Amino acid sequence: MSRRSKSLIAVEVKDLVQCRPTAAFVGASWAALALGATLFLFGLWNAPTLALSEKGFYFCVLLLGLYAAVSLQKSLRDREEGLPVSALYHNISWAMLGMSAFLMLVGLWNAALALSEKGFYGIAFAMSLFAVITIQKNTRDTRQIEALLRQAPYHDDGMPASEDV
């Protein structure tokens, strides 16, 4: 291997290390999910005007939305990276994410809640979906970068091992 190609590998390794999601961003993503989901569930727990069946409905819609968002993000990323994803699975992921948003919208529209409460549930739902997508992306990016770094010899500081220079 020429000296030029060895230095290119070193630059690529250093760039990979810098492309890793920061701990602050990963922590903020998890905090956003915890905050959004906790507030949503806390709101359900303390909603005196909602029947138990309504609380169960909103809880199940939240779970459906979270799962569908992760599933869709994974299938989109797999397709982008050239991994096989069946059209059926991809379309079901889109449909379930859309269905969860539609069910939440219709449920809140028809609920006997104050407009501020409806907004609270809607924002907590959207925040949770966004956070879970971000967590999935961070996890995927981190694992992919770690796999690439295992293929290239380097020191902890991101520089190539001495035998490669």
Tens-digit pLDDT profile for residues 13-65: 666 667 788 889 999 999 999 999 999 999 999 998 999 999 999 999 999 99
Residue 159 has pLDDT above 80, yes or no: no
158 — pLDDT class (breaks 50, 70, 90):
low
Three-state DSSP class for 20? coil
Predicted TM-score (pTM) of the model is 0.79
| Mean pLDDT, all residues of the chain | 86
User: How many Cα neighbours within 13 Å face the side chain of 18?
Assistant: 7
pLDDT tier, 150 (very low <50, low <70, confident <90, very high otherwise): confident
Angle at CA 146, nearest 5°, toward 141 and 148?
A: 95
- Per cent of the chain over pLDDT 90 is 68
**Are 160 and 154 within 8 A, CB to CB?**
yes
Reply yes or no on whether the pLDDT at 87 is more than 70. Answer: yes
Task: Provide the pLDDT for residue 144.
Answer: 85
Q: How much is the pLDDT for 148?
A: 79
| Residue among 59, 85, 83 at smallest CA distance from 71 | 85
pLDDT of 165 reads 45
What does the pLDDT average to over 85-113?
96
Whether the pLDDT of residue 152 is over 70: the answer is no
Query: Closest Cα to residue 138, out of 77, 93, 85, 92?
Result: 77
| Alpha-carbon 9 to chain mean position | 30
Per-residue pLDDT, 20: 81
